[in-house]
Chain A
Amino acid sequence: GQQLNQSPQSMFIQEGEDVSMNCTSSSIFNTWLWYKQEPGEGPVLLIALYKAGELTSNGRLTAQFGITRKDSFLNISASIPSDVGIYFCAGQKETSGSRLTFGEGTQLTVNP
C-alpha cells in the first residue's frame, strides 16, 4: 500500500498566488520526483531530486529533497490557470530500475 503522505489533498487559489505542497514518508527514499497529471493523460515529470538537501528549480517550480530523505516539498510561484491539475510526489529506493511509490496527489484549482 501507499507509504507517502501527501498534503494538502486539494487547494483552491487565486491566479498569482504561490502554492506549497509536501510529502512525508516513514521510510527513506534515495530519489524524490514530482509529477503533474491532467485529465485523460499520464503523469508528466516536473522535477527529479537525487541528493538529500538538494533544491532544484524548473521555471516557477521549486522542489527540495529533505535532509532526512523522508520528505520533499514542491512550491509553485505566481500561479497561472494552466497550473491546474493533480500533483503527485513519488519516491524511489534506487536512482533507476525500481518501483515508484506515489502519494495520493494534490488537486490544484486556480481561479483566474
Chain B
Amino acid sequence: GAGVSQSPSNKVTEKGKDVELRCDPISGHTALYWYRQSLGQGLEFLIYFQGNSAPDKSGLPSDRFSAERTGGSVSTLTIQRTQQEDSAVYLCASSVRAPNSNQPQHFGDGTRLSIL
C-alpha cells in the first residue's frame, strides 16, 4: 500500500541479542521519525531524520540505540545488547518536510519487540 511500512511486525529475542527494526516511509516523505510505546502508555520520541541526517536524536535512551537512514528512504533502528526494559512497540512515522506548510506525521503499524 501507500502507507508507512514496518518490519518485522513482531520480534521475540533473548536478552543480550542485537535487533534491527526497519521502516519504509511513504514515498516522497523526507522526514522520518521513530517513537517507542510501552504497554498502556503514550508514544515517546526517539529520533528524527531529515533526509539522511538526524537533526534530533535526543530521545534515544542509551548508546545501545542507534539509527540510520540511507538514500533518503528506508531507516533502520538498531538496539544492541537488548534488555528486558527495551520491550515495547517501536513505531515509525513520516511526513513531508515543507517550510511554511502544514504536514502531519503518518504512522506505520509498528514492531512489537519482546525481550525474554
**A and B from one assembly?**
yes
Interface assignment of B59: CB less than 8 Å from any CB of chain A? yes
Residues 52-65 of B, flagged 1 when their CB comes within 8 A of A and 0 if not, give: 00001001000000
Measured CB to CB, the nearest residue on chain A to B55 is: A97
Given contacts A96-B31, A97-B31, are A45 and B45 in contact (CB under 8 A)? no
Which residues of B lie under 8 Å from residue A44 when comparing CB positions?
107
Complex alpha-carbon distance, A90 and B93, angstroms: 13
Looking at the complex, which one of A2, A45, A95, A96 makes contact with B42 (CB distance below 8 Å)?
A2
Interface residues on A, range: 20 to 34
Please give the number of chain B residues whose Cβ is less than 8 angstroms from any Cβ of chain A in the complex. 31
Task: Tell me whether A100 and B45 are in contact (CB under 8 A).
Answer: yes
B43 near A95: Cβ-Cβ < 8 Å? no
- 19 CB contacts below 8 A, A to B, read A4-B42, A40-B109, A42-B91, A45-B105, A45-B106, A88-B43, A95-B102, A96-B31, A96-B97, A96-B98, A96-B103, A97-B50, A97-B97, A98-B48, A98-B56, A99-B33, A102-B44, A103-B42, A104-B41
